[in-house]
């Protein structure tokens, strides 16, 4: 009986979860995924090429984004995504496969991912308005770096990747699916 009541309480809390809790969950999941993508790319590329130097720089910035959302998830007692083990493997695999196709494909991956993340962060900023300045400031700060990642990757030849339109579309669709899942799960 007590157990059932406890379960009901948990599901009630879950259903009534604030919109910001869902935002924090999906953002933490996304920054984690980004970290794993770059880890997969660097595992294949090593650390001696020009491309891997810019990827290492982006990866360091993703670490900062992830650390900030990890902290916020703990401070606000937000349930993290249950899909972290999936993003661990899928992110790394996406990074490794694109890097194996070559440095331009690795950069095409960044352009596709950051295009989706940029839109996602814009939507969140609009939805938040002035309601949660701490969260909005973080999102705006990180969004600026995501836009830089996209610019860097374009400058490093992303659009010269083999089968660029197909690669880009596939990765963007994958990101959208991951975002929509991590909002809830």
Tell me how far apart the alpha carbons of residues 19 and 179 are, in angstroms, rounded to a whole number. 14
Nearer to Fe ion, 146 or 156 (CB): 146
Q: Choose between 31 and 116: whose C-beta lies nearer to Fe ion.
A: 31
Residues in contact with Fe ion by the rule CB under 5 A:
31, 34, 62, 65, 146, 149
State both tokens at 24: 């924090």
Determine what percent of the chain falls in helix, strand and coil, rounding each to the nearest 5.
Answer: 85, 0, 15
- Cα 135 from Cα 64, distance rounded (Å): 15
Distances (CA, A) of 42 to 52, 95, 99, 141: 6, 8, 8, 25
**Least gap, CB of 10 to Fe ion (angstroms):** 31
CA angle 137, 108, 42 (to 5 degrees): 80
Q: Closest approach of Cβ 16 to Fe ion, in Å? A: 29
CA–CA separation, 126 vs 120, rounded Å?
10
Using the minimum distance from each CB to Fe ion, give the nearer residue, 20 or 28. Answer: 28
DSSP secondary structure code for residue 100 in this structure: H
Kindly tell me which of 114 and 132 has the beta carbon lying closer to Fe ion: 114
- Of 38 and 96, which has the nearer Cβ to Fe ion? 38
Nearest residue relative to Fe ion (C-beta): 65
Residue 59 CB, shortest distance to Fe ion, in Å, is: 9
> Which is closer to Fe ion, CB of 132 or CB of 146?
146
Query: Tokens 């705006």, residue?
Result: 140
- The nearest distance, CB 63 to Fe ion, in angstroms, is 9
**Which of helix, strand or coil describes residue 61?**
helix
């Amino acid at each position: 009986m007590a157990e059932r009541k406890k379960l009901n309480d948990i599901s009630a809390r879950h259903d009534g979860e604030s919109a910001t809790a869902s935002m924090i969950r999906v953002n933490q999941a996304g920054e984690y995924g980004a970290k794993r993508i770059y880890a997969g790319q660097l595992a294949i590329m090593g650390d001696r090429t020009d491309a891997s130097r810019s990827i290492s720089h982006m990866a360091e910035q993703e670490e900062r984004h992830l650390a900030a959302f990890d902290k916020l998830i703990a401070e606000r007692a937000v349930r993290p995504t249950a899909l972290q083990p999936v993003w661990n493997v899928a992110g790394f695999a996406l990074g490794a496969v694109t890097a194996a196709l070559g440095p331009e494909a690795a950069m095409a991956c960044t352009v596709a991912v950051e295009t989706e993340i940029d839109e996602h962060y814009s939507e969140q900023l609009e939805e938040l308005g002035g309601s949660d300045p701490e969260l909005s400031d973080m999102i705006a700060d990180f969004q600026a770096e995501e836009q830089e990642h996209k610019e860097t990757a374009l400058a490093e030849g992303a659009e010269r990747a083999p089968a660029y339109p197909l690669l880009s579309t596939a990765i963007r669709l994958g990101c959208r699916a991951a975002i929509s899942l991590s909002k809830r799960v």
